Amino acid sequence: MTLVKEAPARPAGKRPAAPAAGRRGRRRETLAGYLFMSPWIAGFLLLTAGPMIASLYYAFTSYNLFTPPQWVGLDNFTTMFQDPRWQKSVEVTLKYVVVATPLKLLLALGVALLLAQKRRGQGLYRAAFYMPSLIGASVSVGFVWRALFSDDAVVDRTQKIFGLDVGGWIGNPDYVIYALVALSIWQFGAPMVIFLAGLKQVPQELYEAAEMDGAGPLRRFWNVTLPMISPVLFFNVLLESIHAFQVFGSAYVVSDTRCGPADATLVYTCYLYQKGFKEAQMGFASAMAWTLVIAVALVTAVLFWSQKKWVHYEEAAK
Amino acid sequence: MTSATSPALPTAHERRRVGSIAWHVGALLVLAVVLYPVIWVVGASFKPSKDIIASLDLLPTAPVWANFSGLADGISGISIGSFFWNSLVYAVLAVVGVVLSSSLTAYAFAKIRFAGRNLLFTLMIGTLLLPYHVLLIPQYVLFRNLELTDTLVPLVAGKFLATEAFFVFLMVQFMRGLPRELDEAAKLDGCGHLRTYWSIVLPLSRPAIITSAIFTFINAWNDFMGPLIYLNTPEKYTVSLGLMMFRDQEGISNYGSMIAMSLVALVPVIAFFMAFQRYLIDGMATSGLKG
């Protein structure tokens, strides 16, 4: 707008050249645009797109890093689908995703509803609850978790009070995965912060109107809050489940470096790491990686498809 | 207090009091669970090794410094300081890389109109959802062929090439919110894009840059998988790998020191968080609303 206003003020001599200058200007803008984003373009080609293509190729080869890749067709995939350890890793990962994600989001939403009330100290609570999301991925916290869930430590002794005598969860193949689930739930702060931001945007009038219509707190939550924050809920479900599929560090650190005991925490990425970097089966590992990408893409697609049914977008968004 | 004078007020007042107490009890309960592991590691660092697991007291009855002085010996001839120094170098390089490359890219997306911009933006957002494991093996092969393994290059190359799409996205959102008049005025004053970027947009984007910088620092500091794959000389290990080496070699004999080192490793992250929590939490919150 301002440009149009300024135009007559320009020296008269330059006016006839305007169309050419415009085209040249546009070309210069394009050049500037690509120059500014050249780091990203280089990164995208060299570190994302190129490697993706390379990995797709490796997936159909036998490759041990030392001799050139040998084309083997679908061999990696057929071996993989029949491999009991691969099946185990899928089972462990699905269990982790399906148990940890809903529990974490439920807690995040519950605490967000609590913190959405204006009370003294609310900001401090919010900060404290967020902190685990920043340190949860560290090796330090992995060690702490290992300690808390080992024999005779606090979790073991607490469960004994309730008559549960299974020992520490770390050494127990049936329970160790739940130590990882607990570590994931402990990091509920990140989705909580996103829920809180969503809750803040719900117009107060809607609650007042619902209250006047005689809706109790539960109805207000179900008919006002939940639809209004459904886009944020969708975002959290998408992000948290994609992250959960890729869990690695906690399995490697909390259980043991072989993701045991008895492959009980052999999450997908852990098996991929073992195959690729311990056994130098780059072809097999690439086939695994692509299978994961396709699985995650499918989950994403299903979520996006399902959002039509339950995600409520405001017509007049801002 | 007012209950004696007016009988109508106290019920409402009392109900509010009860609600307030219930709220604080709930919040404190969550707080206790959230903080327990953190307080535990502080307490454990000051306990003798044999008491750490078995004793249920959160804090030691008689604090000992032995775990920390034990750190001075290092692990198999490598000083603990070396791990912290390596982590610091990695984290600082990562921050410089992310801030520079992401802000340049974000400026192009937010402030320059050019053919193909929308397509590239969609591609960038797409990389946010891509499981990075598909890149793990081919990137390793690439850096191995370039003979760059066992250096920091594979760990920070992506940071200098704006592959952290989340931060580019964060900065684009922020720069789009800056008043257009400012860069138009700069243009009329004869500023090129580089000047506008450096003297106007970059200084005004400080909040987004601080958020990205702190997140990058913390992520690099905590990074475990990257160093695990790429670094194999113990002298080059970061804190994460140092801790793992500690556990493998002295995890039983010197358990207390291992826990003490875990605590020291957490200190920078917690300090950054306390200093900049507003930026971090607001950055997280906007990512969700605009995504």
Q: Name chain B contacts of A135, Cβ cutoff 8 Å.
A: 38, 222, 266, 269-270
Question: Using CA atoms, how far apart are residues B286 and A110, in angstroms rounded to an integer?
Answer: 20
Does residue A12 form part of some domain?
A: no
Helices (H) and strands (E) in chain A, counts: 17, 2
Q: Is A228 on the interface with B (CB under 8 A)?
A: no
Domain total of chain A: 2
Residues A215 and A262 in one domain: yes
Is B112 in Cβ contact with A29 (below 8 Å)? yes
Q: Which helix (H) or strand (E) holds A103?
A: helix A84-116
Do A101 and A54 fall within a single domain? no
β-partners of residue A215 are none
Chain B residues with CB under 8 Å of A132 CB are 34, 37
Q: Do A136 and A191 fall within a single domain?
A: yes
pLDDT at A260: 81
- Least confidently predicted of A56-65, A115-124, B132-141: A115-124
pLDDT in tens, B103-114: 999 999 999 999
A277 and A153 in a common domain: yes
Is residue A100 located within the same domain as residue A44? Answer: no
**Exposure string over A248-261, b if 16+ CB within 10 A, otherwise e:** bbbbbbbbbeebbe
Q: Is A50 on the interface with B (CB under 8 A)?
A: yes
For chain B, say whether A21 makes contact (Cβ under 8 Å): no
Q: Is the pLDDT of residue B189 over 70?
A: yes
CA A310/CA A231 separation, integer angstroms = 9
| A54 touching B (Cβ < 8 Å) | yes
Asked if A187 and A99 sit in the same domain, the reply is yes
Q: Which of A151-155, B45-49, B179-183 has the highest mean pLDDT?
A: B45-49
User: Which of A48, A184, A191, A29 has the alpha carbon at shortest distance from A108?
Assistant: A191
**Given an 8 Å threshold on Cβ–Cβ distance, is A289 in contact with B109?**
no
Q: What is the ipTM of this complex?
A: 0.91
pLDDT, position A10: 39
A126/B contact by beta carbon, under 8 A: yes
Q: Give a three-class secondary structure readout of chain B.
A: CHHHCCCCHHHHHHHHHHHHHHHHHHHHHHHHHHHHHHHHHHHHHCCCHHHHHHCCCCCCCCCCCHHHHHHCCCECCECHHHHHHHHHHHHHHHHHHHHHHHHHHHHHHHHCCCCCHHHHHHHHHHHHHCCCHHHHHHHHHHHHHCCCCCCCHHHHHHHHCCCCHHHHHHHHHHHHCCCHHHHHHHHHCCCCHHHHHHHHHHHHCHHHHHHHHHHHHHHHHHCCHHHHHHCCCHHHCCHHHHHHHHHHHHCCCCHHHHHHHHHHHHHHHHHHHHHHHHHHHHHHHHHHHHC
pLDDT in tens, A75-91: 999 999 999 999 999 99
- Segment A247-271, tens digit of pLDDT: 998 899 998 888 988 899 999 999 9
* Best mutation target, A103, A129, A139, to test chain B (most B CBs within 10 A): A139
Contact of A69 with A61, CB cutoff 8 Å = yes
Residues A119 and A267 in one domain: yes
Contact A39 B197 (CB under 8 A): no
Q: Inform me whether the C-beta atom of residue B244 falls under 8 Å from chain A C-beta atoms.
A: yes
Residues contacting residue A61 through CB under 8 Å, at least 6 positions apart: A69, A70, A71, A72, A76, A283
Over range B50-73, report the average pLDDT.
86
Q: Nearest 5°: phi and psi at A144? A: -60, -45
- Residue B55 vs residue B59, higher pLDDT: B59
CA A303 to each of CA A184, A247, A257, A306, B192: distance values in angstroms, whole numbers, following the listed order: 21, 20, 33, 5, 44
In a domain, A314, yes or no: no
Grouping H, G, I as helix, E, B as strand and the rest as coil, residue A164 is coil
Q: Is residue A130 part of a domain?
A: yes
Domain boundary pick from A71, A106, A124: A71
A293–B130 C-beta distance less than 8 A:
yes
Q: CA distances (Å), B55 to each of A308, B51, B191, B251, B258, in order?
A: 53, 5, 67, 18, 17
pTM for the complete prediction? 0.90
Tell me the count of A-B CB pairs closer than 8 A: 273
Cα dihedral value B182, B188, B189, B195, nearest 10: 60
Residues B224, A198: C-beta atoms closer than 8 Å: no
A150 and A45, same domain (yes or no)? no
* Preferred mutation among A89, A135, A279 to probe B, highest tally of B CBs within 10 A: A135
A240 and A158 in one domain? yes
Which of A102-106, A119-123, A124-128, A160-164 is modeled with the greatest confidence? Answer: A102-106
Of the ranges A75-84, A262-271, A303-312, B149-158, which one carries the lowest mean pLDDT score? Answer: A303-312
Any domain includes A134: yes
Q: Is the pLDDT of residue A168 over 50?
A: yes
The answer to the question of residue A2 being in a domain is no
A58/A94 same-domain check: no
Which residue range(s) make up the domain with A83?
77-309
Residue A64 located in a structural domain: yes
Q: Which residues of B touch A6 (CB under 8 A)?
A: 188
Residue A224 has a CB neighbour count (10 Å cut-off) of 18
* Together in a domain, A82 and A46: no
Q: Is B45 on the interface with A (CB under 8 A)?
A: no
Instruction: State the CATH number of the domain containing residue A199.
Output: 1.10.3720.10
**B123 lies within 8 A of chain A by CB:** yes
The answer on A274 and A153 residing in a single domain is: yes
- pLDDT of the residue at B288: 59
Residue A22 lies in a domain: no
pLDDT at A21: 61
